[in-house]
Structure 1
Amino acid sequence: MSGSTGDGMSAGQWLPLVGLTLSAFIFNTSEFMPIGLLTDIAVDLHVTEARAGMLISVYAWVVALLSLPLMLLVARMEYRRLLLVTLALFIVSHLLSAVAGNYAVLMASRIGVACSHAVFWSIASPLAVRIVPEKRRSLALSMIVTGTSVAMVVGMPLGRIIGLYVGWRTSFLCVAVLAAVVFCYLLAVFPKVPGGKSFSVRRLPVLLKHPVLVGIYLMALLVPTAHYTVYSYIEPFLQQVAGLPAEWITLTLTAFGAAGIFGSMLFARYYDRRPARFVAAVVVGIALLLLLLRSAAFDRYVVMALCIVWGIAVTAFNVAFQAETIRYAPEDAAPVAMSIFSGIYNVGIGCGALFGGAVCTYLSVADIGYAGGVLAVAAVVFCLCRLLPLLKGRIS
């Protein structure tokens, strides 16, 4: 597989990258899928919907808490082997989900999936940039994020459709089968990638005292918290405040996910030219869009257009800050640095959902855009005043 394609990448570089993209798709399909199956799971296992919803909350907190410890544990493992072991755990956990006879077994299986998720998203981006030429790193990262975006558009609805017609267990079984196919594909095409040096807890100050990485990690808390303050409750907002009918809400949320593909394309095209400006633009854009959400609710076309641009901006933020994390972390510490990023990001998801819930309870669902926007403005101030000067110091 040494033939070179027209863009300077050989088949031996494209094929593993496609495998990572497919892996990103199935991992995020699995993460989002229970959202559309909660009612069926609750009825089948004789639990309340609130208790079934804990499958989602526990998943996010396991990822947040275990991303760093798990990566410290496996940092020296050869990365091809680690990727395959991670996928194997993912497959076994989904098979366990498919045959779970009670709530406790299903929860245990989802914790297993969360552990595989924590490791995969710690190594996916660093692996993507290591298996392609340096000038194609932005393309590699954008493809990984594209897999995530496609999962939001196709994966979750498809899992729900399968669940509605043949049962929620079959949805988990289908994910396991798809993951097994990807496992065989990666076994055939993925090259060996040496693991890093042993990364002990004693070396963490190298990452936690680096001024740019600390800034990135703070942004990984602030912006997701702001985003999920709003996005966690976007469905009731669109229904109650914007007055959208059910089919328009579905269309808007689908368009939001699809917009992420365009956001990853913009990153691949423009990020390398002006990284600092790109970072600033997406952070400022997210803040403005959240603050304008309530005003846009007067018209269905306007609020849908805002959600599309919002989807573009959030995806661009995710991939840009992953790129900055990899750029500034020592090469042998990149997976550990990414595990910290992923863990903090998931804390932001949980905090945003809690804060948004409080806003809905004590104020109004109409105010979620303002609440998230205030947090996003704080992120803008920090980014422009503290983080951007450091990035510009690197970019002439």
Structure 2
Amino acid sequence: MLPSIPPKYFLPLVGLAVSAFVFNTSEFMPIALLTDISDSFGKTPAETGIMITAYAWVVGLMSLPLMLAACRMEPKRLLLAVLALFAAGQIGSGLATSFAMLMAARVAVACAHAIFWSITAPFATRLVTREHQPFALSCVATGSAIAMIFGLPIGRVIGLALGWRMTFFCIAGVTLCALLYLGRVFPRLPQGGAPFSPRDLPALVKNPFVFGNFVLAVTFATSYFTIYSYIEPYLGTVAGFSPEAITTTLVALGVFGFFGSVVFSHAYGTHRRFCLLTGGVGVTVCALLYTGAAALAPALVAVCLVLGMISTLFNVTMQAELLRSTSRAGAPVATSIYSGLFNVGIGGGTALGSFVAGAGHLPSIGLVGAAIAAVTAAYTIFAYLPAVRKYH
């Protein structure tokens, strides 16, 4: 049991968790409302879907340059500015009178997203003592997990009842509340030494833990999203799940994502190697079971739930690894590169899943994901863990 955290530290963590909730909800919201958005602008879902791809690639491409430009700002001012840009992008999305305007607003949101996920983990851990850092990271991860459980379904209900524009307005409203709340409770954090410079990048990347983290980000995200991006048609057409059963399974997957953050907060400090191994090895095993489990519904549901837990556990573990391996000034930049590469992996996994499904091999998509996850496992075992033993 962790010692109690003073309210002056816990209250800002609540604000960061709420912010993580709205950022994650917003990222995937267009997926749930794609048909309605397409109808509004006289386009097909395939034509409108470019806004989802563009969002991911803007985050991937802009994370590092935006963080380098913003790293000299005082932390609290930077956090509030990012939330303000995010809220403005949501309002712009709701007011868009053309698809081009909607795309421009989503690009603004993606830029805010790129910076937010670069600074959230470093800021959360700076709010607390070292012994509470796993708890601080798990708070942020909990906000993300809750978005997967409740954010998307609630957003879809609002969009269907009141129109898709109202969903974006609601996200903007929650964001503005979070901005005002954090403006009140978030402390002013010291800069902590000289600001990060582009000249420091080569040394940062040469750090074996940082470089290894980047490799694992790409391979893990590619393997996981090869499977996850097509989990709905897999459950429906291969496993024969009803629409209601698919919805229940996806919600339960999000719930188990929350359990992943709980496992991290209790295990990372004393069982670091277990947390590191779970990502590559866990997804490899689950992906291999994914195909065979399609014939037995309870087994397939169990595999999906474990995958959801592993995803959150891996993400938070990798952020913790970056924070312990970089300086205070370098941590946001390293996290921004990680976030960008993870989004590259998301795009790669989604594209690979689309290719596999389009070629008529959807029943074998788990085997494809397993092959890539095996790369994550091998790198962790033969490269990353030996560095842990050598330097830590």
Fold conserved between structures, TM > 0.5: yes
Q: How far is 1:9 from its partner?
A: 1.5
Spell out the pairing of 1:306-325 with structure 2 (5 A cutoff). Answer: 306-325=303-322
Q: How far is 1:50 from its partner?
A: 0.9
TM-score of the superposed pair, with normalisation by structure 2 = 0.98
**In the aligned structure 2, how far is the partner of 1:223 from the partner of 1:296?**
22
| Deviations 1:57-95 (CA, angstroms, capped at 9, x unpaired) | 100000000000000001110010000000000111111
**In the aligned structure 2, how far is the partner of 1:291 from the partner of 1:127?**
38
Q: 1:8 aligns with which of 4, 11, 31?
A: 4
**In the aligned structure 2, how far is the partner of 1:193 from the partner of 1:51?**
44
Match of 2:53 in 1: 57
Match of 2:252 in 1: 255
Ranges of 4+ aligned residues in structure 1 off by more than 3 Å: none
The 3-state SS of whatever aligns with 1:243 is coil
Match of 1:122 in 2: 118
Match of 1:163 in 2: 159
Match of 2:285 in 1: 288
Match of 2:215 in 1: 218
**In the aligned structure 1, how far is the partner of 2:389 from the partner of 2:362?**
39
Q: 1:106 aligns with which of 102, 109, 115?
A: 102
Match of 1:38 in 2: 34
* 1:203 equivalenced with 2:200 (yes/no): yes
Q: 2:276 aligns with which of 252, 255, 279?
A: 279
Match of 1:131 in 2: 127
* 1:191 equivalenced with 2:181 (yes/no): no
The 3-state SS of whatever aligns with 2:188 is coil
| Deviations 1:115-169 (CA, angstroms, capped at 9, x unpaired) | 0000000000000000011100000001101100000111111110000000000
Q: How far is 1:357 from its partner?
A: 1.1
**In the aligned structure 1, how far is the partner of 2:90 from the partner of 2:281?**
39
**In the aligned structure 2, how far is the partner of 1:195 from the partner of 1:353?**
38
* 1:232 equivalenced with 2:232 (yes/no): no
The 3-state SS of whatever aligns with 1:331 is coil
Match of 1:3 in 2: none
Q: How far is 1:189 from its partner?
A: 0.3
Match of 1:29 in 2: 25
Count how many residue pairs are aligned between Structure 1 and Structure 2.
391
CA contact 1:75–1:195 (8 Å) conserved in 2: no
Q: How far is 1:301 from its partner?
A: 1.3
TM-score of the superposed pair, with normalisation by structure 1 = 0.97
| Deviations 1:157-210 (CA, angstroms, capped at 9, x unpaired) | 111000000000000000001111111100110001133633222110111111
CA contact 2:278–2:314 (8 Å) conserved in 1: no
CA contact 1:9–1:133 (8 Å) conserved in 2: no
Q: 2:323 aligns with which of 303, 323, 326?
A: 326
The CA RMSD over aligned residues, in Å, is 1.2
**In the aligned structure 2, how far is the partner of 1:36 from the partner of 1:82?**
30
Match of 1:77 in 2: 73
**In the aligned structure 1, how far is the partner of 2:14 from the partner of 2:119?**
15
**In the aligned structure 1, how far is the partner of 2:11 from the partner of 2:70?**
25
Match of 2:44 in 1: 48
Residue 320 of structure 1 aligns with an amino acid whose one-letter code is T
Q: How far is 1:237 from its partner?
A: 0.5
* 1:393 equivalenced with 2:365 (yes/no): no
Q: How far is 1:363 from its partner?
A: 4.4
- Between stretches 256-265 and 354-363, larger displacement belongs to 354-363
Percent same amino acid among aligned pairs? Answer: 44
Residue 36 of structure 2 aligns with an amino acid whose one-letter code is D
Long gaps (5+) in structure 1: 1-5
